[in-house]
Structures are given as C-alpha cells and as structure tokens.
Structure 1
Amino acid sequence: MPIKLENVAIAVRDLEAAIAFFTDLGLTVLGRARISGEWADIAVGLDGNTADIAVLQTPDGNGRIEMFQYVHPEAIEAEPVQPNTIGMHRVAFTVDNIDAALEVAAEHGCHPLRGVAIYEDVYKLTYLRGPSDILVMFAEELQKAD
C-alpha cells in the first residue's frame, strides 16, 4: 500500500504569530481557510468544530505544516511539551545557517532551550520554543574537510 506524509498539524494560540514565525524562516503559505460543518465534526471528532487554518510549505516543497487556531470548541491549554514527553514531539528543520535561523527566531522572542550543540562533527543543532510553545529543532549539517 503506497503511503505519503501529507503534513503535520499543530494547534496554536495565535495563528498570525505562528504564520509570521514560520514564513520568516522561509516557509510559504499555501492556503488559509476557516473550516467548519458536519464534515469537520465527523473528521475531527468534535461537535461544532470550527477552526482557522493555514497550510505552509518548506522551500524544497517536501514538507508541510498545517496550523490551526480553534474558534469552537475553545482550545484547551496544556503544559508545554518537554523533550521527553510521549506523543507528538517537535518539528525539525535542516537549515543552511543555524545562526541566521536563530536570529530570525529571536526576532519572535524564541531562543534555544539551552544552547547550540555539535553532534559528532556532523550537525550543529538546537531546540527552541516557537510560538504557542511549539518545540522546534534547527539542524545545520556541517561540511567535513577532505
């Protein structure tokens, strides 16, 4: 059976702030809509389901994020996900320049949880809290000298 990953969906407190963060990193908004109706109630499993959504795509065209802000029912606040929480964990991006990506994130008030690490001279990487406390990982592949 062929299978293809369509997108990863993330509920956010402030859709505009989340769109600004991810578009500043280089993603493109493919579309926006307000979803509601019987089909949405059935698909999502919530009565009266109404949400504003945006679908963003990575510059390479291979990755998509669907972000949504609930209008009804009211969104449920939870403790921010920790790196060792079971379940949906984080969204990760390979970046050409981790320092430049962190500068963009900082403009949105988002900073590394602890710092930037180097993994076996292969990657520089870090976790940070994005909008709505989304865990975001940046990884820059390091070039090995011959």
Structure 2
Amino acid sequence: MAIRIDNVGIAVRDLDAAIAFFTDLGLTVVGRDEVSGDWTDTVVGLDGNHAKIAMLATPGGEVRIELFEYLHPEAIETRPTLPNEIGMHRVAFQVDDIDEALAVAARHGCHPLRGVANYRDVYKLSYVRGPSGIIVMFAEDVTAGD
C-alpha cells in the first residue's frame, strides 16, 4: 500500500486571522470553501457539521495545512496544549531565517514560549504560540551555508 501525508488539519477560532499568520510566513492559500451536509457529518462524525475551511501550501506545495473554523456545532475552547501533552499539538516549519520568522509571528502577537535554542550547532529552534493557541515550531538549519 502506498501512503503519503495529504495535509494536517487545524481547528481555529478565527479563520481569517490564521490565514493571515500562515500566509505572512510564506504559505499560499490554494483553496477556500464552506462545507456542510451529510457527507461532512459522516466523515467528521458530527451531526450538523458546518465549517469554513482553507487549504494552504508551503512553497513548492510539498506540505499542505487545512484550517477550519466551525460554525456548527459551536467550537469548543480548550486550554492551550502543553509541549509534553500526548497527541498532536504542533506544526513545524524549516525556515531560512528564524529571526525573520519570529518577527513575522510577532506582528500577529505570537511570541516564543521561551526563546531561541541552539541544537548542537545544527539548528536554531523556537516554539511560538500561534493563532488559536497552536504551537508553531521554527527550525533554521545553521549548517546550510557550510
């Protein structure tokens, strides 16, 4: 069986704010829609499912992120995920310039959880709390110029 990741889905409280954050980082919106009906109830497992969605892609299109804002049933607010909690909780991007990525994030009110770390002189790494509390990791390969 052949398998590949098609996309990663992230529920957000404000679709437009999340789109602005990710497009400022360099992702491109490849589609937007509003979905509802029997097929969405079946696939998602929620009766009366109704959501606004947007598909974004990294440059080159290798990775796609689907953002969705629930209109019905009402979205459930949760406390922000902690890095050591079980389950999916972050999306990671390799960036050419971590300082630039952090500056873009800061323009959206998103700041590092603690700062920028150096991993064995191979990567500079930082987690930020993105839109809707999403943990976003930036990784800059500091060996890229070697």
Code of the residue aligned with 2:112 in structure 1: it is: P
Stretches of 4+ moved more than 4 A in 1? none
Give the unaligned 5+ runs of structure 2. Answer: none
**How many Å apart are 1:35 and its aligned residue?**
0.5
Partners in 2 of 1:133 and 1:40 — Cα distance? 25
Aligned to 1:128: 128
Alignment RMSD: 1.1
How far apart, in 2, do the equivalents of 1:106 and 1:60 lie? 25
Q: Does 1:119 align with 2:103?
A: no
User: What is the aligned length?
Assistant: 146
Instruction: State how far apart, in whole Å, the 2-side matches of 1:144 and 1:30 are.
Output: 29
SS at match of 2:114: coil
SS in 2 for 1:40: helix
* Structure 1 residue ranges without an equivalent (≥5): none
Amino acid in the other structure paired with 1:19: I
**1:44-83 equivalences in 2 (<5 Å):** 44-83=44-83
Deviations 1:55-94 (A, max 9, x none): 0000131100000000000001111100001001200000
Tell me the CA shift for residue 142 of structure 1.
0.6
> Matches of 2:3 and 2:20 in 1, distance apart?
31
Q: Secondary structure at the match of 1:138?
A: strand
Over the matched positions of the two proteins, sequence identity in percent amounts to: 69
User: What SS does structure 1 have at the residue aligned with 2:96?
Assistant: coil
